[in-house]
Amino acid sequence: MANEKKVQQNTILDIAEALKLSPATISRALNNHPHVKEKTKSDVLKMAAQLGYRRNNMASGLRSNKTYTVGLIVPRISMFFHAEVITTIQNGLHKYGYNLIICQSNDSVTMEKELTEILFSSRVDALIAACTLFTTDFSHFDKLLENGTPVYFYDRVPLHDLGATIIKGDDFRGGYMATSHLIETGCRKIAHISGPLTSNLYQNRSSGFIKAMEQHQIPVNEDWIFHQELTQNNAREAMRKLFEGDIVPDGIFTDNDSSAIAALEYAKEIGLNVPVDLKIVGYSNDPRTSIINPSITTVEQFPADFGKKIVEVLIDSLKNPNHEITKTAPIIIPIQLIRRMST
């Protein structure tokens, strides 16, 4: 019992021996090759089951250069949006016989690079990535692309063309709709708590914000626009600044829901009545926004649609690996404003 090393597993050679067949035939039978006699195939499957045979994916992958494995890198799996996307992707790929290796970068560029290396070393058939907020250099993905491994970026995506497929939300429209909604419900003094402009997300949501303001001829107060990491603490700090002056906002658009929640809590603490004194719109439709009181108006991103679309394009190119590398324009997933009690 002690000192027991890995036990030798049964291989196709064992099946071959038991059945007086060649390993090649076993391999073919196991892989549903066309030119195998039905009887042989069923014999092989039976014997495989009996011996408890399990294919060795390393040997198979090494030889065939296909791993039926897709890598995925996300900043954090705990974010509701990503958790949903991941689930959809995993279930989708599973149907086509592909496995998914899920990795977290913890929003660290270094970690993202390391994970990319590792996934390449594992020779994944494709890579899906939602980059960190701080990824501006995407060269660590080059190795995969050079090798002909398709790369799919979603959510946080490169700002310039890399030869990879891009799936993103309609952030411009999201920012525009959120802001327009605030204006339509009566706000005239609107602040925007946004993320770092290194990310496409916040660039576009900010543009949407500006567009809506300009269209309604409402002056934009530069001091009321924050570009910072979207943590609860930063949101509170922004709120403090916003409400220490004489003129205070009557509407706030935050680029994520955590910030919206923090803003709402801060507003309640200083005695504001939301939505009467202040209206708030968040982004992402995190489950918490519907539970908090008052519930928060937010922008639904339809993570399941992201997942479905990613699987669709990924499987398409994996099944037809040698069709022209279509320089696809970015795929845009529509958003939708969810109106709640905070506006």
List of residues contacting DNA (CB under 7 A): 8-9, 11-13, 20-28, 30-31, 34-37, 39-40, 53, 55-56, 59-60, 62-64
Nearer to its own copies, 100 or 272 (CB): 100
Nearer to DNA, 63 or 160 (CB): 63
Distance, in Å, from the CA atom of 158 to the CA atom of 149, rounded to the nearest integer, reads: 17
Identify the burial level of 110 via C-beta atoms within 10 angstroms of its C-beta, where 0-12 means exposed, 13-18 middle and 19 or more buried: exposed
Q: Could you tell me which stretch among 2-10, 179-187, 239-247, 335-343 binds its own copies (CB under 8 A)?
A: 2-10
Of the candidates 298, 235, 222, the one whose C-alpha atom is nearest the C-alpha of residue 266 is 235
Nearer to DNA, 4 or 244 (CB): 4
The residues in 269-328 that bind its own copies, with binding defined as CB under 8 A, are: 287-288, 291-293, 321-325
Q: Is the peptide bond before 275 cis (omega within 30 degrees of 0)?
A: yes
Distance, in Å, from the CA atom of 331 to the CA atom of 68, rounded to the nearest integer, reads: 24
Binding characters for its own copies, 194-233, by CB under 8 A (x = yes):
----------------------------------------
- Work out what residue 37 binds among DNA, its own copies, none; the CB cut-off runs from 5 to 8 Å by kind: DNA
Q: Minimum distance between the CB of residue 42 and DNA, rounded to whole angstroms?
A: 11
Contact 174, 299 (CB under 8 A): yes
Binding characters for its own copies, 242-271, by CB under 8 A (x = yes):
-------------------x----------
- Residue 92 makes contact with its own copies by CB under 8 A: no
Distance, in Å, from the CA atom of 278 to the CA atom of 199, rounded to the nearest integer, reads: 28
Question: What distance lies between CA 149 and its chain's CA centroid?
Answer: 19
Q: Minimum distance between the CB of residue 254 and DNA, rounded to whole angstroms?
A: 48
Contact 315, 149 (CB under 8 A): no
Residues 6+ apart with CB under 8 A from 236: 262, 263, 266
* 3-state secondary structure (DSSP) of residue 233: helix
Distance, in Å, from the CA atom of 335 to the CA atom of 24, rounded to the nearest integer, reads: 52
Binding characters for its own copies, 97-136, by CB under 8 A (x = yes):
--xxxxxx-x----x--x--xx-xxxx-------------
Beta strands in the chain (DSSP E): 69-74, 99-104, 126-129, 151-154, 165-169, 190-194, 225-227, 251-254, 279-281, 298-300, 331-333, 336-338
Nearer to its own copies, 87 or 207 (CB): 87
- Work out what residue 95 binds among DNA, its own copies, none; the CB cut-off runs from 5 to 8 Å by kind: none
Q: Minimum distance between the CB of residue 67 and its own copies, rounded to whole angstroms?
A: 7
* 3-state secondary structure (DSSP) of residue 213: helix
Q: Is the peptide bond before 294 cis (omega within 30 degrees of 0)?
A: yes
The residues in 14-73 that bind its own copies, with binding defined as CB under 8 A, are: 52, 54-59, 61-62, 65, 67, 69
Which residues of the shown chain bind its own copies in the complex (CB under 8 A)?
A: 1-7, 9, 52, 54-59, 61-62, 65, 67, 69, 76-78, 80, 83-84, 86-87, 90-91, 94, 99-104, 106, 111, 114, 117-118, 120-123, 143, 146-149, 261, 287-288, 291-293, 321-325
